[in-house]
Amino acid sequence: MAPIDCKPTPEDFWVAETLGELGESELLRRLKQFAPPGQLDDDTAQINQNSQELLINTDMFVDGIHFSDDTTTAEDVGWRAVAANLSDLAASGVDQIIGINVGLVAPAHTPWDWIEGVYKGMEAALNQFGGVILGGDCSNGQQKLLAITALGTLGPLRLHRGHARPGDVLVVSGAHGLSRLGLALLQRDPILECVALPEQLKNAAVMAHQRPQPALKALRALETCKPAELPWRAGGTDSSDGLLMAVQGLCQSSGCRAVLHSNDLPRAQEWPEGSSWDQWCLNGGEDFELVLSLPASWARAWLKVMPRSQSVGYMEVGPPKVIWADGSGEVIGSSEFQHFKQN
Amino acid sequence: MAPIDCKPTPEDFWVAETLGELGESELLRRLKQFAPPGQLDDDTAQINQNSQELLINTDMFVDGIHFSDDTTTAEDVGWRAVAANLSDLAASGVDQIIGINVGLVAPAHTPWDWIEGVYKGMEAALNQFGGVILGGDCSNGQQKLLAITALGTLGPLRLHRGHARPGDVLVVSGAHGLSRLGLALLQRDPILECVALPEQLKNAAVMAHQRPQPALKALRALETCKPAELPWRAGGTDSSDGLLMAVQGLCQSSGCRAVLHSNDLPRAQEWPEGSSWDQWCLNGGEDFELVLSLPASWARAWLKVMPRSQSVGYMEVGPPKVIWADGSGEVIGSSEFQHFKQN
């Protein structure tokens, strides 16, 4: 029998491009073509109905990625899913939370107790922040997950990433890195073995991870303290993917450069010294604080009324990068949380 | 060593109740406690904003449950996900489709081509039926899935399952069972081996499965043909879970009994005879037709203007069951699609 001719053709070398190779940023860039221009520039979409502006936001929470049974009780999963969603609405300028639609996927062997816990956690968060469960859907699936869509009305200030301006001051509504520290504590991360952390910091960190608070009060204060002579214009986002990604988002959408003071990183009280800790402050993620680009007088007014808020830098003319204020021009790199990292 | 006393205690026999044991109906019943009274009685929730009523609906589409690569191209997945969602809005009385938020989960090895196909399919459906992609979220996960939330404005007629009344005529907007037949054809189901089906029926069945149409035109006709003397009251739902479950839903929410004429099952043209085929007509699912409970004069007017619509029975006083009109009182059983069936 003659050997089969199996010389490879060029097609045999062609491998389809996967999400893991693309990465999240490129995926989002490509998906924009399917929506109206600018529609997907912010996390939250805006709808005008009878001169009432509504905000709508969807967030996915997937077992093993956004939570795990080891570190997050069912109640905490429900609370965090709602809090993360409302954080996006807060960072867009929500007034009243209307409610949420809940898409639930879970394998058939999931105990009812877990589902009940998740709904109790969601209920507790809605009781605290406003809104009700409007509706939803559920399905069998291999992996537990929640797909939550939250709706709210828009207040006087529509925050956009792209509304940052050169000359603005960069301010945040609270400390960053706590949630990541909380996760490390819950996971008994070896990095913590030789560090004596104050109990108060440990408790605050675990609370920040399990029961995060959307920055609705900080938003309310921001609206109240606006100097009368200023227009309703501010750049804003939340730090659910970490402080650095939030600032990078402001830069990319507004076309400005951000300058951060390394001594002004928004560390928590009694935050230990050391560069690995500061990485968590920059890249830890799930901080759910407001990250704002404000005219100086508005920033001053806000810092005065919000005790936990602080200034971290400023925006200037320049390519959309984040640099240190030490004059070196060094671009601050990101160990970006990659949703589609190939394992 | 004395033997360890290992007499089992009652707790040892207690096993946590799982979703598979609960089933979907019981799960939904339990989840209702977490929403305002009546809020979860319809698939679609209603929101009042500045005297504008909005409808919002979430549907999950999970690989291996709602679609599979064997029978559904990526474009068809996108189209069907949108069509199924808009079908719920149609069955609630939507006027204009505002748009959808898309939650996407996919493993890192998913080809970009598949994602692009899904979005092309969604875009094609939105181009045909109205609305745009408003926003969304994406995440890595073990299983491909879409969580779509659709928003629309409410027209003059708010359809509710609970608005069926004794004396109403039961009507449907089209044939049932086609989508299930289409799936069997795509899967080369052995049940079809000895059956010679007309080409036209086969094509219609595959189209019904891959490119279903939400019954927006049928809804528009229903609004237009209402006899002036009647109030805007009609019972309604869609048959995404099959005709029988749709009618059962009308019964349970309204507290009426439904009577079906077995000779009037809404079979497609040239539908083959035989009880297994009629099961698909009753239980096949994914038909996405309107199933309405209407005063007789309104039903007559609608049947006249909608050539594909037909009467299937009537509602009467009685316990909320579905029975045959043969006088036997036999309750029509359901081989209900179980989302949480334990494998």
**What is the DSSP secondary-structure string of B3-59?**
PP--PPPHHHH----BHHHHHHHHHHHHHGGGSSTTTTSSSSEEEEETTEEEEEEEE
Whether residues A24 and B62 touch (CB distance < 8 A) is answered with no
Distance between first and last Cα of chain A:
43
By the CB < 8 Å criterion, does A44 face chain B?
A: yes
Here the tokens at position B320 are 């909320």
Closest Cβ–Cβ partner in A65, A110, A115 for B140: A65
Residue of B nearest to A19 (CA): B108
Q: Chain A residue closest to B145 (CA)?
A: A141
In whole angstroms, give the CA distance from residue B240 to residue B259: 20
Residues in chain A, total: 343
Whether A52 and B49 have beta carbons less than 8 Å apart is answered as yes
Partner B, chain A 211-270, Cβ-Cβ below 8 Å: none
| CB nearest B147 (choices: A24, A52, A103) | A103
- Which residues in chain B are closer than 8 Å to A64, comparing Cβ atoms? 142
pLDDT of residue A2: 41
Q: What is the mean pLDDT of each run of 10 residues along chain B (343 residues)?
A: 47 72 91 92 86 93 94 96 97 97 97 97 98 96 98 96 97 96 92 87 95 97 98 97 95 96 91 84 94 98 96 97 89 59 42
Whether B19 sits inside 8 A of A109 (CB atoms) is: yes
- In one-letter notation, the amino acid at residue B190 is P
From the list B142, B84, B241, the residue with the least C-alpha distance to A105 is: B142
Helix or strand holding residue B278 (H, E): helix B275-283
Q: pLDDT band for position A342 (50/70/90)?
A: very low
A174 pLDDT more than 50: yes
Q: How far apart are CA A104 and CA B19, in angstroms?
A: 12
Element (DSSP H or E) covering residue A148: strand A145-154
pLDDT single digits (tens) A83-96: 999 999 999 999 99
Report the alpha-carbon distance of residue B336 to residue B342 in Å, rounded: 14
**Share of chain B residues as helix, strand and coil, in percent rounded to the nearest 5:** 35, 25, 40
What per-residue confidence (pLDDT) applies to B81?
A: 97
For residue A223, what pLDDT is reported? 98
Place of tokens 């062997």: A109
Which letter does DSSP use for residue A144 in this model? -
Q: Which of B19, B136, B147 sits opposite A110 (nearest CB)?
A: B19
Q: Which residues of A touch B52 (CB under 8 A)?
A: 49-50, 52
DSSP B63: B
| Cβ–Cβ gap A99/B132 under 8 Å | no
Q: Select from B36, B50, B65 the Cβ nearest to the Cβ of A139.
A: B65
Adjacency order of strands within the sheet including A45-49: A45-49, A52-62, A145-154, A94-106, A132-140
> A110: nearest CA in chain B?
B18
Cβ atoms of residues A179 and A84 within 8 Å: no
Q: Residues of B with CB below 8 A from A107's CB?
A: 19
Report the side by side order of strands in the sheet with B290-294: B235-238, B290-294, B169-172, B310-316, B257-260, B322-324
Residues 6+ apart with CB under 8 A from B1: none
Closest alpha carbon within chain B to A108? B20
Mean residue pLDDT across chain A: 91
Distance between CA A301 and CA B162 in Å, rounded?
53
| Closest residue on chain B to A101 (Cα) | B58
**How many Cβ atoms are within 10 Å of A253's Cβ, its own excluded?**
19
Please tell me the distance from the alpha carbon of residue A129 to that of residue B94, in angstroms, as a whole number: 30
How do B322-324 and B257-260 pair as beta strands?
parallel
Contact map slice: A 20-39 vs B, CB within 8 A = 20, 22, 24, 27-28, 30-31, 34-36, 39
Residues 99-158 of A with CB under 8 A from B: 99, 101-113, 115-116, 119-120, 122-123, 132-143, 145, 147, 149, 151, 153
CA distance B274 to B192: 12
- Taking the CA of residue A222 and the nearest CA in chain B, the distance in Å comes to 25
pLDDT tens digit string along A21-59?
Answer: 999 889 999 999 999 998 888 879 999 887 789 999 999
Task: Quickly state the pLDDT bin for A335 (edges 50, 70, 90).
Answer: very low
ipTM for the whole complex: 0.90
A338-342: Cβ within 8 A, 24+ apart? A338/A23, A338/A24, A339/A24, A339/A65, A339/B138, A339/B139, A339/B140, A340/A19, A340/A20, A340/A22, A340/A23, A340/A24, A340/A27, A340/B108, A340/B140, A341/A20, A341/B108, A341/B140, A342/A18, A342/A20, A342/A21, A342/B108, A342/B109
pLDDT over 90 at A191, yes or no = no
Query: Edge-to-edge, what's the strand order for the sheet holding A257-260?
Result: A235-238, A290-294, A169-172, A310-316, A257-260, A322-324
Tell me the nearest-neighbour CA distance from B257 into chain A, angstroms: 26
Give me the mean pLDDT over the A98-123 stretch.
97
Residues of chain A with pLDDT > 70, as a percent, come to: 93
Per-residue model confidence as pLDDT tens digits over A312-330: 999 999 999 999 998 888 8
A5 pLDDT above the threshold of 80: no
pTM above 0.80, yes or no: yes
Confidence of residue A178 (pLDDT cuts 50, 70, 90): very high
Nearest by CB to B58, from A57, A135, A145: name it. Answer: A135
β-partners of residue B260 are: B313, B324
Q: List CB contacts (< 8 A) between A19 and chain B.
A: 106-110, 112, 115, 140
Q: Which residues of A touch B124 (CB under 8 A)?
A: none
Q: Is the pLDDT of residue A338 over 50?
A: no
Tell me the domains of chain A and their CATH numbers: 43-154 (3.30.1330.10), 161-324 (3.90.650.10)
Q: What are phi and psi of A160, to 5 degrees?
A: -130, 150
Considering only CB atoms, A149 lies closest to which of B42, B108, B149, namely B149
